Amino acid sequence: MRNAAWRRGFTLVELLVVVAVLAILLVLSAPSMRDFILMQRLKGIHAQIVTDLQLARSEAMSSGQVVNVRVQEPGLMSCYVLFNDSLQSYRTLGASSRCDCTQPEGSRCTQAGTREIRTVQIPNARGVSLVVPGSEAVAFDPSTGGIVLLRTEAGVVSGSAFTVISAIDEPLKPRSLAAVVGLSGRPTVCRPVGSTMSEPSC
6 burial via Cβ count (<10 Å: 0-12, 13-18, 19+): exposed
pLDDT attached to residue 1 = 47
Query: pLDDT by residue (tens digit) across 55-103?
Result: 999 999 999 999 999 999 878 899 999 999 999 999 889 999 999 999 9
CA 10 to chain centre: 52
* Distance spanning both ends of the chain, measured CA to CA: 74
Query: pLDDT by residue (tens digit) across 12-38?
Result: 777 777 787 777 776 765 567 788 888
* Domains of the chain: residue spans and CATH: 2-190 (3.55.40.10)
70 burial via Cβ count (<10 Å: 0-12, 13-18, 19+): buried
Q: Closest Cα to residue 186, out of 48, 77, 51? A: 51
User: What SS3 state is found at 113?
Assistant: coil
Distance CA 36, CA 114 (A): 40
Distance CA 96, CA 83 (A): 9
Query: pLDDT by residue (tens digit) across 118-174?
Result: 999 999 989 899 999 988 999 999 999 999 988 766 666 677 899 999 998 666 568
Distance CA 53, CA 149 (A): 17
